[in-house]
Structure 1
Amino acid sequence: MNLDKKLIKQIIEKVILVLSFAGFALVIYEEGFEKPLLTEADSHLLLKIMLSSIWAGYLALYFLIKSKTPFSNKRISELVAILIISGILLFIFTDYAIPGLDVVTQATTDRFLVDLLVAGVFLIELSKVSLGVNELQLNPPLIFILSFLVLILIGTVLLMLPNATNGPIHLIDALFTSTSAVCVTGLIVLDTAKDFTLFGQLIIMLLFQLGGLGMMTFTSFFGFFFRGSFSIQNQLFLKDFINEDNFGEIFSTLMKVILFTFLVEGVAAILIFFSLNSDLFSGVGEMIFFSIFHSISGFCNAGFSILSNGLYEQGFRDNYNMQLIIAVSIILGGIGFPVVLNYYGYLKHFIRGMFRKIVFKESYRHLPRVVNIGTRLIVLTTGVLILVGFVSYWILETNHTLAGLDTYGKLVTSFFGAVTPRTAGFNTVDMSVLSVPTVLIYLLLMWIGASPGSTGGGLKTSTFAVAILSSFSIAKGKDRVEVFRREISSSTLRKAFAVTFLSFMVIGTAVFALMLFDRDLPLMSVVFEAFSAFSTVGLSLGITGDLSFGSKMVLILTMFIGRVGILTLLIAISKGVKNLSYRYPEESVFIT
């Protein structure tokens, strides 16, 4: 490409970037404020002009740059974007009337399509810019933490917009709600159903969707498609977040994570929709939004609901099929993407091998250790925790929350009660009437939490399992920890015990601070709240809304630390040691 074309390309790209950000800002302004400066017709026209200019820019870039690989991801993505924008603009400018829609609904549909298209273009351009952030001379953990911090602040500002709520709210409540959503916790100081408008609920849903997978995961995915490639810095940055050591598989793994997320959420939303009682809703649109909101909240282990009493709301507490669907979504979101990808690789190898065996009469080739130790340990631990939680809930709550339910209801409620404490936070029962032993079981399940590389929080199942194995190993007098005919590395053991110790330090500090700011609150409720915040669960014994300003700040910090991870936070703020080129004499310390 000659100098003139490069200069033109840079100018067009800068213009598109500015227009996309300006258009998105205009959409936020129009939707967020009650009396905008521009009329709805004027702003709608301005957005259409912006979109037309962006479309012309994309078209110019596509034909200006001659690619040697016309079928690359970048070229195909650019062509698809041009075609989508072309189709929507054609639909809008021709004033095509959708059969069966009245004038008002038609206008609302047009506006929604314009807003959606502006948001899509903004996401594309933001994703391109975010890839440049990865190339800054900052360590990945620090960028990871900053991405959550920035998202929380953006969410706070959006939730403070007049049209996001049904009345004025305090800044601390907006910050708390944004942090809870981004950190996929679910603790609330405001009623999501009554205090937030549809616009506000949509913001919350987007926050826990982005927070569940990580902002950088989303932007990197779209950025790759429209930029065409990853730099070495991008790959080094992403490999730590998606747990992929093979550089050649980074984008493939990233794509599988995104597709798996949307697949599970999409299927769950459809199943939830068909499980609902239409008499409880004002229309199909409300049912669709309810289904999408709760499917994303379930998979992301967010625990947010647009029902005032959660899933315990009258008319929903007996919908056991819906509860099962959400419970399965919680498990799939909390099991961890590394586990899902590991089993995907195993199934892919198995199906391919059996196909060759049946069709081509080739012998089946067994690959050793396709399902690795980490995956097997996580799945086993998850299964044991669900089973223990299920049996415990059934026994302990027979005369409490399970009283009066039929057998199917008891089975589903007990199963849900075993799943939701492990970072999800939905409630299908009245939390205030749980027996004390059940609350203690909940504390244990909340503390352990979900699995590494998942949308959930907590200590993590693998950490808990390694700590238990190490304890048994010491009790047997063994000098190493072994499982499934493999020895666990000393570095893994050190990390497990460090995280375990630090988790108690954070929770203990949070309990102390909460009792300091709100001394009249019951100790059990405060401890439950601290565990719930650290493990990003969202369950509460009913004190969250009554907390003081100081206590809310304590929980905000606790949720943030629990989501980004204690070790990640320490690594980000600590200066790492480059090389230990020496060893001191080894000496034992007396421990009993």
Structure 2
Amino acid sequence: MKMIENIQSFQWSPRFTHIIQRISFWLSLISVILVFYDLGFQKSDTTAQRLITMYLSALFVGCISIGLRYIFSGKHPGFKVKVIDIIILTLFVFLIIIRTDLLVADLGFFNKKGWLYLAVFLYFIREFSSLRLDFKTQYFNPAQLFITSFLGIILIGTFLLLLPNATHSGISLIDALFTSTSAVCVTGLIVVDTGSYFTQFGQTIILVLIQLGGIGIMTFATYFSYFFRGQSSYETQLMMRDMTNSEKIGEVFSAMKKILLITFTIEFIGGILIFFSLGKSVTGFGSKLFFSTFHTISSFCNAGFSTLANSLYEPGFRFNYPLHIILALLFILGGLGFPIVLNVYTYFKHLIINRVLPLRKNERCLHRPWVINMNTRIVLLSTFVLLIGGSIGFYALEYDNTLAAHTEFGKIVTAFFGAATPRTAGFNSIDYADLRFGTLMLIFLLMWIGASPASTGGGIKTSTFAIATLNFFSLAKGKDRIELYKREIADISVRRAFAIISLSLMVIGIAISLIVSFDSDQNLLKIAFECFSAYSTVGLSMGITSALSDPSKMVLIATMFIGRVSMLTILIAMLRRVRHLNYKYPTEEILIN
């Protein structure tokens, strides 16, 4: 014990700890790169055996470095850090025990070698999260950081999809970039069939890209950095407050924790429900598990990717209405937005504590606080109206067309699914090439509106459309402001809403014009459908995506990216922000009509 105290009092211990941490991080990074090499390329048994030895050696050094840092830090490690380190150590001991059985030919993640990959990735996450992720506002603003994080993960995803073992017969650079962008931007447009073209390794890469793109890579990185270090700079908290839409700085990491917890909980429950709804459509426990995992993440993140060639229109899934309902609920929840889900959670918590429990004690609650905020009320109301109105419209227009093969209950479910999926989900249970023109116009509107703010979906957002609609009535009534639920909508919200609407139409219009010039042989309606789908990150298509030329694919890539991060965010990142507005010019009215 006294020897440990002497070691802790060593004058170079902070520097020594820093050196150990840096060495361990670079070792973990090299190990992860070797994992991708291991999975991405064909190798001889000798090379594979050497790689396993290198993984185990890296984990051994990692466990030693973690232990040394505990000793030299002189502090009692927190419970959370202790748990993750125990997991890494346990996996290392387990891997040593099964050392002789690690060399397997299958690249799947459900074998003994998968435990080795898991240990290496946990080791890397632990070391990466120990680094200081403090962002200086004089170098980066939240918009620039948000855009950069998406660009970075898209480029990494493109490189990984180009690995030989990611596909069965190789893939071009433009198609890999398109697929990676579609996955990170949770769009769902594809140029090659996900299920047959990519191996399970390639599909796993797409799945990870969807999850990172849906929640946001910065949310993961910053939260886990705080998780391991237990602290963060004031500037980082300010930046993450803007990125997570938190009202208070002190609630930033609490909100991020709830976002991750809610996401993984919903995806876990959804995966279980999907697993038991498959029946005999998918055979084998491993295949069912992967199918369920892939589709629950793709659904909640509103990505629209599927391992089925024709999505849910595939025979065997077309009439699986329980599966359709589960997927619809998942992408509706994902499309509501994390602030809305958190606010609803707060409301029900308040309802139970302050309303239900006092009734058992015969107490009367006199104070009724404003728990459900204005943003939540607008989003929930607009989402309800769009779902019900869209379902009725879809049912009426397609009753004797694409819905003819379904039972009455099936018609209702398919109409509901058909109205919900255009709002950035991207799954299809019908053939969109057979839809009537009136139905296509309805889908155009639903795609353009999209999901809600701070969600995994795209589009101009439900609140933007709601504010624009309320502004119509406000002007017609002669009001100089928008009022709702005894509240006044802030002028900046109105200005932002109409800026988003104008920019969206401009981007979509330019995209349509460019693709028409590059692929003049394609139908204009199908091109417009493709561009609306790309901008709103929907993923629905009338079947022309793979037939487009490379320049047109690049246009769609740019459109998907702009739609995910929003053109307004790009402008904010590019233009210098005005710091002083302590003046005001005389006001003049401009003739409008």
| TM-score relative to the length of structure 2 | 0.95
Residue of structure 2 equivalent to 1:11:
19
Query: Is 1:54–2:56 an aligned residue pair?
Result: no
Asked whether the equivalents of residues 134 and 233 of structure 2 are also in contact (C-alpha less than 8 Å), the reply is no
Shift of 1:580: 2.0
Work out whether 1:226 is the aligned partner of 2:234.
Answer: no
Rounded Cα–Cα distance in structure 1 between residues aligned with 2:553 and 2:129: 33
Per-residue CA distance 1:566-592 (angstroms, 9 max, x = gap): 111110000111112322211111111
Distance 1:135 1:434, change over 3 A: same
Once residues 138 and 37 of structure 1 are traced to their aligned partners in structure 2, the CA distance between those partners, rounded to angstroms, is 47
Gap regions ≥5 residues in structure 2: 1-8
Q: CA deviation at 1:63?
A: 2.9
Q: Matches of residues 145-544 of structure 1 in structure 2 within 5 Å?
A: 145-278=147-280, 280-354=281-355, 357=358, 363-364=364-365, 366-544=367-545
2:49–2:103 contact (8 Å) kept in structure 1: no
Judged with a 3 Å threshold, the aligned counterparts in structure 2 of structure 1 residues 474 and 195 are, in CA distance, closer, same or farther, namely same
Secondary structure at the aligned position of 1:346 is classed as helix
SS at the partner of 2:74?
Answer: coil
Instruction: Report Cα offsets for 1:443-478 as digits up to 9, x if no partner.
Output: 000000000010000000000000000011111111
> For residues 288-318 of structure 1, what are the alpha-carbon distances to aligned partners after superposition, in whole Å with 9 as ceiling and x for unaligned?
0000000000000000000111111111111
Q: Please list the CA deviations of residues 191-216 of structure 1 after superposition, one character each: whole Å capped at 9, or x if unmatched.
A: 10111000000000000100001000
Distance 2:128 2:105 in 1: 33
The number of residue pairs the alignment matches comes to 584
The structural deviation recorded for 1:4 is 1.3
- Between the aligned partners of 2:346 and 2:180, the Cα distance in structure 1 is 36
The aligned counterpart of 1:84 is 87
Q: 1:134 to 1:392 in 2, by over 3 A?
A: farther
- Cα–Cα, structure 1 residues 352 and 122, in superposed 2: closer, same or farther, change >3 Å? same
The runs of 5 or more residues in structure 1 that have no matched partner are none
Whole-angstrom CA distance in 1 between matches of 2:145 and 2:131: 14
Deviation of the 1:178 alpha carbon? 0.3
Q: Secondary structure at the match of 1:132?
A: coil
Distance 1:420 1:576 in 2: 37
1:126 corresponds in structure 2 to 128
Structure 1 residues 107 and 558, CA gap change in structure 2 (3 angstroms):
closer
Distance change (3 Å), C-alpha of 1:228 and 1:134: farther
Instruction: Indicate the SS of the match to 2:306.
Output: coil
Q: 8 Å contact 1:128–1:219 — kept in the other structure? A: no
Deviations 1:486-529 (A, max 9, x none): 11111111111111111100110111011010011101001000
- Any conservation in 1 of the 2:378–2:466 contact (CA below 8 Å)? yes
Q: Report the counterpart of residue 40 of structure 2 in structure 1.
A: 32
AA of the residue aligned to 1:575: R
Deviations 1:526-585 (A, max 9, x none): 100010000000000010000001100000000000000111111000011111232221
Match of 2:5 in 1: none
Identity %: 47
Conserved 8 A contact 2:110-2:286:
no
Listed one character per residue, the Cα deviations across residues 355-375 of structure 1 (whole Å, up to 9, x for unaligned) are 652576655363421101111
- TM-fit CA distance, 1:124: 2.8
Distance 2:19 2:372 in 1: 50
Amino acid at match of 2:142: P
Contact 1:276 1:322 in 2 (8 A): yes
RMSD between aligned residues:
2.1
Tell me which moved more, 359-368 or 542-551. Answer: 359-368
Q: C-alpha distance in 2, partners of 1:547/1:3?
A: 65
> Which amino acid counterpart does residue 141 of structure 1 have in structure 2?
A
C-alpha distance 398-229 of structure 1, shift in aligned 2 (>3 A):
same
Deviation at 1:133, TM superposition (A): 4.5
DSSP 3-state at the match of 1:3: coil
> Which letter does structure 2 place at the counterpart of 1:95?
I
User: What displacement does 1:37 show?
Assistant: 9.6
Q: Tell me how far apart the structure 2 counterparts of residues 422 and 103 of structure 1 sit (CA, whole Å).
A: 43
Alpha-carbon separation, structure 2, partners of 1:577 and 1:58? 46
